[in-house]
Structure 1
Amino acid sequence: MNSTAFTIRPMRRGEVDIAVAWAALEGWNPGQHDALCYAAADPGGFLIGLLGDEPIATISAVRYDETFGFIGYYIVKPEYRGMGYGIQIWNAALAYLEGCNIGLDGVVEQQANYQKSGFQLAYSHLRYEGRGYGPAEPDAAIVPLSTLPFETLVAYEHPFFPSPRIAFLKAWTRQPNSTALGILAQGQLAGYGVIRPCLGGYKIGPLYAESAELGERLFLALASQATATEAVFLDVPAVHSAAVALAEKYGMTVSFGTARMYTQFEPELPLDRIFGVTSFEIG
């Protein structure tokens, strides 16, 4: 191992961009404004590993509250892999989240390694890719989320995530160049979704709805924000047959999958209403 001192500390604001840039090099196609939103979730939850002054490792360990945390952006620069730096920053992340039920979306081939740290498979996610949806038919039930009281969104979101994430939710639904829409049923919010620009194409996430019919209408309204030549991505729980059917109905194909894993237990989430998860990096 290199004799230069290896240190781990919380990232400074600009350093979150390093993790996002490295994620792009790994082919994860992060959103253009992810760094700003993720930092809002937990300013102290992004760790950087430095060899001397050189950044060589990153990880996010977002602590939403005293009960739940989520790990992402676990990356070591390729030339420093296999030297023990990765496990050091991994252990630092676990220490930061001590006492929490911890979730992650890991590449399937790494499941065994995560199991060594106490993670157990809950279910899988599939990333679907499509393009060319064109303009959507007008739908009077679909409204910009910004026209609804933020408290309405917070209340609707509550069952879909293990812990409150108010600061993140505010940043996520108001990020630049994105579109956040809600769908109403009998005057009540019955689903919402966000589409954001990524380094390549657009990602829809989350996409929550009370029924497959509402989910489809919301999906089409969001997907229409991309042009006919731009890729659109949707990450769905593989166990939700209606979400899989929605993606396949519109010609989307699977590009890769992840393993959703937890350390203590699988939270009771309404997977039958989750047509698209927010992000593999933050839950």
Structure 2
Amino acid sequence: MSTSVLQNEECQVARCTFEQWKAPLQWAAYEKWDLGHNDHYCFYHTDPDGFFVGFVNGQPVASISCVRYGDHYAHMGHYLAEPNQRGKGYGLKTWEYFLKFFDDFVLALDGMPEQTENYAKWGFTTYYKNFRFSGQIRQQLLEDYPINNKHISTINSTMLPGIYEYDFQCMGLRREKFLQHWFTYEDNTGYVYQTPAGIQGLLGIRPSTDGYRLGPIYSDNEEIANSLVITALKSLPDNSRVTVDIAERSHSLIALLIKLGMSEIFYTNRMYRGTPPTGTPEKIKAIASLELG
């Protein structure tokens, strides 16, 4: 881990420890980001060197994460400032510091529309939208959606090699460190759709600040995606709030969520600096996290 520190006037920026990262998590809760209970563990386990905080007089004032998948690709997130320290340029200083470590990387982020022009100034290009849908799920409505569970099972650790390969097929990059815990850590759960021909879909679900979060959702077709979603939702207590960041191309799944009482609350733009990885994006129905892709 690099120990170099940038000092800009009164703001010092450096890579931070797991303990120091608790402050940005509190800012995210203040912003109602509805992070999963175990997300911070999975984030930090994936790349402990990917977390940056700006400090003023030893107190955290701004943050950003940039988690590496391999030697040439990283996903950005957690671009935040402490609520009482905004408008002072600390976020920009933190941004400028972290960026110098990633000159040779393809960078991805999921940015709010109002920030798109700012990101474009740094070389980022918009490729598609992810819509955040959220709502309380009534189990009574799910009774209208009987499914055949013959090919759906809960993900366990023995399945992870196959999960890694299917994720690689969909994403076009290796994410073993991230996926190692995402579906199985504590009360995180995953479902896989698998036939003798192999894995044809998977879904993650985890408890969050406001209820439950779905993601990622991958599938070879919309019918499989819908079956995985219904299976996951039927496992929850009645009237649970569920949130998912769903790709704009997932028309059938969006229609299903609306029928179940969920609605769009905002959208983000998936942006890349550099050439995006070559996967099968049509299989990506919903992302795992705005912070990790």
- Give the TM-score range, shorter chain: over 0.9
Q: Which residue of 1 aligns with 2:41?
A: 36
Paired with 2:59 and 2:243, the residues of 1 have a C-alpha distance of: 33
Q: Report the CA distance between 1:264 and its aligned residue.
A: 1.2
Do residues 279 (structure 1) and 289 (structure 2) align? yes
| Superposed displacement of residue 137, structure 1 | 5.3
| Mapped partners of 1:102, 1:242: distance in 2 | 30
The match for 2:191 is 181
8 Å contact from structure 2 (residues 138, 240) kept in 1: no
The aligned residue for residue 207 of structure 2 is 197
Which residue is 1:18 aligned to? 23
8 Å Cα contact 1:133/1:226 also seen in 2: no
1:144 is aligned to: 154
> Could you say which residue in structure 2 is the equivalent of 1:252?
262
Decide whether the 8 Å contact of 2:152 with 2:193 is kept in 1: yes
- CA deviations on 1:22-48 (whole Å, 9 max, x unpaired) are 111112111111110000111100011
Q: Distance in 2 between matches of 1:163 and 1:52?
A: 40
Do the aligned partners of residues 226 and 83 (structure 1) sit closer, same or farther apart at CA in structure 2, a change above 3 Å counting?
Answer: same
Per mean C-alpha deviation after superposition, the further-off stretch among 113-122 and 187-196 is 187-196
- Candidates 35, 47, 72, aligned match of 2:52: 47
Q: How does 1:132-171 map to 2 (within 5 A)?
A: 132-134=137-139, 139-146=149-156, 148-171=158-181
Q: Is 2:220 aligned against 1:210?
A: yes
What is the letter of the counterpart of residue 107 of structure 2? I
Q: CA deviation at 1:85?
A: 1.1
**Match for residue 226 of structure 1 among 236, 248, 256:** 236
Q: Which runs of 5+ in 2 are unaligned?
A: 1-7
Cα distance in 1 for partners of 2:138, 2:90 equals: 44
| Aligned counterparts of 2:92 and 2:250: Cα–Cα separation in 1 | 34
Q: Distance in 2 between matches of 1:86 and 1:95?
A: 15
Which residue type is aligned with residue 189 of structure 1?
Answer: I
Q: 1:88 aligns with which of 84, 87, 93?
A: 93
Partner Cα distance (1:246, 1:95) in 2:
43
- Does the aligned pair in 2 maintain the 1:243–1:276 contact within 8 Å? no
Deviates more, 1:225-234 or 1:214-223: 225-234
Deviation string, structure 1 residues 118-143 (Cα, Å, up to 9, x no partner): 11111111011132243775612111
Q: Alpha-carbon deviation of 1:187?
A: 5.0
Which residue matches 2:121?
116
Could you tell me which residue of structure 1 aligns to residue 250 of structure 2?
A: 240
Match of 1:181, SS state, is strand
Structure 1 counterpart SS, 2:130: strand
- Structure 1 gaps, min length 5: none
Larger mean CA deviation between 261-270 and 165-174 belongs to: 261-270
Question: How many corresponding residue pairs?
Answer: 281
Give the TM-score normalised by structure 1. 0.93
Please state how far the C-alpha of 1:240 moved relative to its aligned partner. 3.1
Query: Against the structure 1 CA distance between its residues 77 and 90, is the aligned structure 2 distance closer, same or farther, given a 3 Å change threshold?
Result: same
Asked whether the equivalents of residues 147 and 227 of structure 2 are also in contact (C-alpha less than 8 Å), the reply is no
Shift in Å, 1:91: 1.2
* Greater displacement, 6-15 / 52-61: 6-15
Contact 1:68 1:162 in 2 (8 A): no
The 4+ residue runs of structure 1 with deviation greater than 4 A are 135-138
Q: Sequence identity, in percent?
A: 28
Give the aligned partner of residue 261 of structure 1: 271
